Structure 1
Amino acid sequence: MTYRPWTVASALVIVAMPSIASAQALTAQEAADLRAQLSALKAQVERLEARLDSTQQQVATQLAPSATSAPVNVVAAAPAKPTTTIKWKGSPQFSLGSASFKVKGRIQYDASYLSVPKDVADLSKGYSNELRRLRLGGEGTLGGGFGYKLETELSDNSIDLVDTFITYERGKWLITLGNQNEFQSLDELTGDTTGSVMERAAFTDAFAFERRLGLSAQYRGKAVLVQGGIFSDSADSLTNSSDGVTGGDENNSIGLDGRIVVMPKVGDMQLHFGGSYHWRDFNRLAAAPVRYRQRPYIHSSNSRFLSTPAINATGERHYGFEVAGSQGRFSFAGEGHWLRSVRSGLSDPQFFGAYAEVGYFLTKGDSRPLADGIFGRTDPKNPVTAGGLGAVQLTLRYDYLDLNDGAIVGGTQNAYIAALVWAPINYLRFNMNYAHLDYADAAILADTRADYGIDTVSLRAELDF
């Protein structure tokens, strides 16, 4: 016989209801009899519960498989449906099974002051400011190893495609198809919101490092990184429908890029040694002369104090080396890069750029991560949200650029830069830079002088997520 607790309880209530309803009219003897009946019912319920527990234990013992018994066929339960999870990584990241999506964005506002000799006739001197970058997009995974990233950027009064690609990742391999960075430089590949100074090394801009449409492959091991790809032109130039040598139909350049990075760890110090080589043929772009030039150390100035004359080049060959390290609060980095502009029937001018820097965190516990061939984001150990100061980093950098070779005179630069970066919380930074630049053979004259010095002071507020 099977008993159910709710059956017993119902019977108890039914039995008790008539007596309870007339409890006010009971005599003392009747009340005593009623209490005795209730006690007997209570004891009966306790006996029934004990028998039910014993029966359940016997059933469980009989159903439990023994070492010698045949396995019991059990129908598998239907798999649980994946649930949506939300994580915070500067913005919400939504995940459903192996698929995910994260909103990405970036805001950078710059204010700068450029001090030049009085006899420099150029309107860029003095105060200037700009919305350096306004970027919006998203990234995520699709499952099966496939992923994607799409970002557009408002910069220089135009909307450009930035990282816009599809990826496939399997083990240590990563395949990328779309508009992406070529593998040209540690400073170029490190994000502008994780860099130690406001502007990248002068040679990265002078040599026109940029994202281009291409197919690349990357092998990432524990202590070695190998990257390579084949590229055409930037997505923006390829979508230009105008006629002529600057139109999209004329942009048929092709380039090959390769980079190898060795990443040993010695004690607590993470080291980085890298080298890269790049080959590019302009094809029909040879009809459009190229110039190698560079701003002063602020982007809000459009004046190029260094600039070569127009060069009828048919292609480029360039290579560089990288060295960097990070240990605790201390970090350092340095690069050198040579670019040869290939000309038909003429000698090929070669230009050179380099930088060296040291950095130190003034706040305890903070460091600059160095992994996967780039410097990463610093997450303050004591953010202001926890009553701390955030992360404060001081960096000193020397930046050199030489655009002179034989009859080609574009000028040289020796720049001395000091930067102070404050990150009160993760994803938010305030950057203050001072730079003194000494020019020789400058493209912009100070009266009749081509050799002189300038100074810049810059501030940046940046939010990245």
Structure 2
Amino acid sequence: MRNVTLIGLALAATSLTSLPAAAQQAGTMSVQEELAQMRAEMAALSGRVATLEGELEQTKAELEQERARNAQLTQPAAPVAVAVAPAAEPGAEIEFKGAPEISADGGWSFKPRGRIQADAGFISAPDSTGAADGFGSNLRRARIGMQGDIPGGFGYKFEVDFAGDQVTLADAILTYEGKGVDISIGQHNNFQSLEELTSSLHTSFIERAAFTDAFGFERRLGISVEFGVGDVSVQAGAFSDNISDLPGKEHSFDGRVVYAPKFGDGQLHLGASVHYADTDSNNVRYRQRPLVNFTSERFVNTGNLAAESEFGYGAEAAFISGRFHVAGEAFWQNVDRPGALADPTFFGGYAEAGVFLTSGDSRGYKGGTFNRIKPASPVGEGGIGAIQFNVRYDHLDLNDAGITGGKQNGYFASLVWTPTDYTRFLVNYGRLEYTDAVLPETSGNRDYSVDVVGVRAQVDF
């Protein structure tokens, strides 16, 4: 636009300079001479215009070159090949599995762990028994701890429980993983029962089957070995007492064998266990609460029995197929009493079945026990989590050889909602029918029923 204006000014200037000259010569020049002069001036003007047009085209070309240079300056620089040395191996890596798990060079790892289980509910017992009933609640478990690996195939697990206004040691284990053999030293579970070895995080009901508590299954200080071949695994160990009861002279031996083959998508579990304990205290006591832990009432109780040893043995079976599962156990506990006293054998067992009401969900299984439920459509990812319904018949018989500890028959139902891998909510109902209960009614009747409702909120990491 600036060059077009210059051309116009040039033309105007040429016309103005030529007009006075033409006027001065008009009187003395002929018409032919005037026309010739005008032609010459027009020719000069045409040349001037041609020159200006050339300058305009040159200016346009320069502008296009300038635009091209500006465009190149605004474009990202072309990648430059630079030789980069291979990155050094990182000193530590962090993964998230419910909590941060830190792994370092050389076989080190560290992961915090913990759980919170808060329970509440109601118990309804006959008034004339004098049993404490009504509403109850407690913090069932509040654990914090750590676990990890140590170079050389070693590992550790340590966990403390703060529930019940006191601090108790749950697990304190040093482990070693060899070729097909695992060794554990410290306070850990004995090898008694599928139900007992399944973590409380993954059970179908708020509490485990009655016989597991009644017969005193608990963690003890000891050493154990586990090894497996194909679908068969064998566990055995020697133990003293629970660490809270030390020092003590009681010692026990436990063993368990599990056969767990796959059948297509189905998982079969068959197992058997044996237990022997030499009692240092010279007495044992077997008793049990009605389904929930927030009551201290026991309607079945042998009281203290003089005993030199106890010998138990059990059988277990389970099957998982898609959303369905079934499980059952039986356990016999024999007491060797001193002198001529008769030796009673007490019995406990259960049978349960469960189904997931949500598509794609199934009960977890790993290492000879039930494991974590992982919802196919968890909350937070567009789903509602996993919803499971379970029923169970639970039996405990503490009557034998002149001992009247009572019989407890439990009919239970549970609804379990697992919104995410690490959260669960449970609602349980139980009707417990007693024969020879240790708390009689005022009429002397010892055969009656107790109703229980329990709920739990749970989170772990």
TM category, shorter: 0.7 to 0.9
Please report how far the alpha carbon of residue 308 of structure 1 lies from its aligned counterpart in structure 2 after TM superposition. Answer: 0.6
Q: Which amino acid aligns with 1:100?
A: S
For residues 281 and 209 of structure 1, the distance between their equivalents in structure 2, rounded to whole angstroms, comes to 15
Deviation string for 1:126-162 (max 9, x for gaps)? 0000111100000000121100000001233321111
Q: Which amino acid aligns with 1:295?
A: R
Q: Is the 8 A contact 2:427 2:454 kept in 1?
A: yes
Question: What does residue range 210-289 of structure 1 map to in structure 2 within 5 Å?
Answer: 210-238=218-246, 248=247, 251-283=248-280, 285-286=281-282, 289=283
Q: Which amino acid aligns with 1:306?
A: V
* Identity level (%): 47
For residues 408 and 370 of structure 1, the distance between their equivalents in structure 2, rounded to whole angstroms, comes to 38
Q: Aligned residue for 1:165?
A: 173
For residues 364 and 202 of structure 2, the distance between their equivalents in structure 1, rounded to whole angstroms, comes to 10
Give the TM-score, by structure 1 length.
0.79
Q: Is the 8 A contact 1:325 1:370 kept in 2?
A: no
Q: Is the 8 A contact 1:313 1:343 kept in 2?
A: yes
Question: What does residue range 10-409 of structure 1 map to in structure 2 within 5 Å?
Answer: 80-97=88-105, 98-122=107-131, 124-238=132-246, 248=247, 251-283=248-280, 285-286=281-282, 289-345=283-339, 346-409=341-404
For residues 220 and 118 of structure 2, the distance between their equivalents in structure 1, rounded to whole angstroms, comes to 26
Please report how far the alpha carbon of residue 311 of structure 1 lies from its aligned counterpart in structure 2 after TM superposition. Answer: 0.5
Q: Secondary structure at the match of 2:162?
A: strand
Deviation string for 1:187-223 (max 9, x for gaps)? 0000111111111000000001000000000013331
Which sits farther off after the overlay, 101-110 or 274-283? 274-283
Q: Is the 8 A contact 2:121 2:454 kept in 1?
A: yes
Please report how far the alpha carbon of residue 171 of structure 1 lies from its aligned counterpart in structure 2 after TM superposition. Answer: 2.7
Please report how far the alpha carbon of residue 406 of structure 1 lies from its aligned counterpart in structure 2 after TM superposition. Answer: 2.3
Please report how far the alpha carbon of residue 350 of structure 1 lies from its aligned counterpart in structure 2 after TM superposition. Answer: 0.9
Q: Which amino acid aligns with 2:127?
A: K
For residues 358 and 463 of structure 1, the distance between their equivalents in structure 2, rounded to whole angstroms, comes to 24
Please report how far the alpha carbon of residue 347 of structure 1 lies from its aligned counterpart in structure 2 after TM superposition. Answer: 1.9
Deviation string for 1:31-80 (max 9, x for gaps)? 99xx9xx9xxxxxxxxxxxxxxxxxxxxxxxxxxxxxxxxxxxxxx9993
For residues 82 and 338 of structure 1, the distance between their equivalents in structure 2, rounded to whole angstroms, comes to 54
Aligned-residue RMSD, C-alpha: 2.3
Give the TM-score, by structure 2 length.
0.80
For residues 310 and 379 of structure 1, the distance between their equivalents in structure 2, rounded to whole angstroms, comes to 43
Q: Secondary structure at the match of 1:156?
A: helix
Flag structure 1 segments of 5+ consecutive residues without an equivalent: 1-27, 39-76, 239-247
Q: Aligned residue for 1:61?
A: none
Q: Is the 8 A contact 1:220 1:372 kept in 2?
A: no
Q: Is the 8 A contact 2:223 2:238 kept in 1?
A: yes
For residues 342 and 165 of structure 1, the distance between their equivalents in structure 2, rounded to whole angstroms, comes to 32
Q: Is the 8 A contact 2:253 2:275 kept in 1?
A: yes
Query: Which stretches of structure 1, 4 residues or more, deviate above 6 A after TM superposition?
Result: none
Q: Which amino acid aligns with 1:461?
A: A
Q: Aligned residue for 1:428?
A: 423
Q: Which amino acid aligns with 2:407?
A: T
Q: Which amino acid aligns with 1:135?
A: R
- Count of aligned pairs: 385
Q: Secondary structure at the match of 1:119?
A: helix
Q: Is the 8 A contact 1:182 1:211 kept in 2?
A: yes
Deviation string for 1:404-440 (max 9, x for gaps)? 0021100001100000000111110000000000000
For residues 157 and 151 of structure 2, the distance between their equivalents in structure 1, rounded to whole angstroms, comes to 14
Q: Which amino acid aligns with 1:274?
A: G
